[in-house]
Amino acid sequence: MAEVSVENVTKTFGATKALDSVSMDFPNGGFFALLGPSGSGKTTLLRVIAGFILADNGHIRIGGEPVERVPVERRDIGMMFQNYALFPNMTVADNVGFGLRVRKVGAAEEKRRIAEALELVQMGSLRDRKPHELSGGQRQRVALARAFVTNPRVLLLDEPLSALDKALRVDMQIELKRIQREIGITTIFVTHDQEEALTLSDKIGILRNGRMVQAGAPRDVYNAPDSVFIAEFLGDANIFSGQVEGGALRIAGGRAIRIPKGAEGANTFAIRSEDMAISLEEPTGDDTDRIRADLVQRVFAGAMATCIVEVEGRRMKIVARERDLPALPDEGPVWLSWETDRLKPVKDE
């Protein structure tokens, strides 16, 4: 196991700056997510850490040692690719043991480590099968076992669950976190799935246009996004903007809403969709702010419902439990309400 440190890493492909002075620390033994839209640089950063791509500038350290000029095979990294890259002509056991044979591990040691890895991913009974005889989830487990069986210092995962259907992906999220905790290896994974990043990681880094725009604990980044982009990218959020006058924000249509104390210097605020309530009757309470809106659409999604509303020509989204909305029509005038401290000042960029 080892800490990974990325400092001011830049990588350019032609006229495109894939990474622009990116810095982030990945402490020893943690589970970290790199998140961002397509083309943000997250996979490039993972491959720079692995050594498949050489950075133009900056420093990469693993266990405190600089590795930017160290070749892939000497970085002591386990890598799991999006398509799993299993050898179709090999059995499960042979696929898992491939890296051990390359390293010329003794036969007895190889057998022991393969058995331990397969037991950890619950694939011991299928050791003699070929990849085409396995389900998608089983192939994912084999690829994971192959990535960590060599006892690497760092485990890198590139969209590890994207090929699985939703139900299996949720199950494998639980399994992946269990396995990572048991082996205690520093793990960095790339994902485009915001919920997956929040569920699995101890720390997330969000990239945009090659820059690291915010990094921190998932709960902290989710609850206190730095910008409109992060608020809207990481979950659902509604944005209020306008001019601050006497502790209130005057939005479109001349309406004024209260803002949290100490936030008078901001003019743009975000609030999570689930932090807003919707009702037919005007809410009461000194700590609750409220505005009128028009319900445009109500979308049923099992236990939860999504309500699309319009406020002065701008659409917003409210997420609530379906059972809390029995009297709500499919459309018509409604009230929106929220606690003032749920508004978070954000940069409009």
Q: What is the pLDDT of residues 147-175, one digit of tens each?
A: 999 999 999 998 877 767 777 778 888 88
Choose among 294, 306, 304: nearest CA to 335: 294
Coil/strand/helix, residue 70: coil
Q: Quickly state the pLDDT bin for 1 (edges 50, 70, 90).
A: low
Q: Tell me, what DSSP letter sits at residue 226?
A: S
Place of tokens 């990572």: 180
Residue 73: CB atoms within 10 Å: 10
pTM: 0.88
State the DSSP H helix or E strand holding residue 86, giving kind and residue range, or none if neither: none
Q: Does the pLDDT of residue 283 top 80, yes or no? A: yes
| Mean pLDDT in residue range 77-85 | 84
First to last CA, the chain: 38
| Mean pLDDT in residue range 302-329 | 88
Domains in the chain and their CATH numbers?
A: 4-228 (3.40.50.300), 229-345 (2.40.50.100)
Q: Greater confidence, 2 or 270?
A: 270
Q: Greater confidence, 259 or 81?
A: 259
Choose among 149, 183, 159, 152: nearest CA to 29: 183
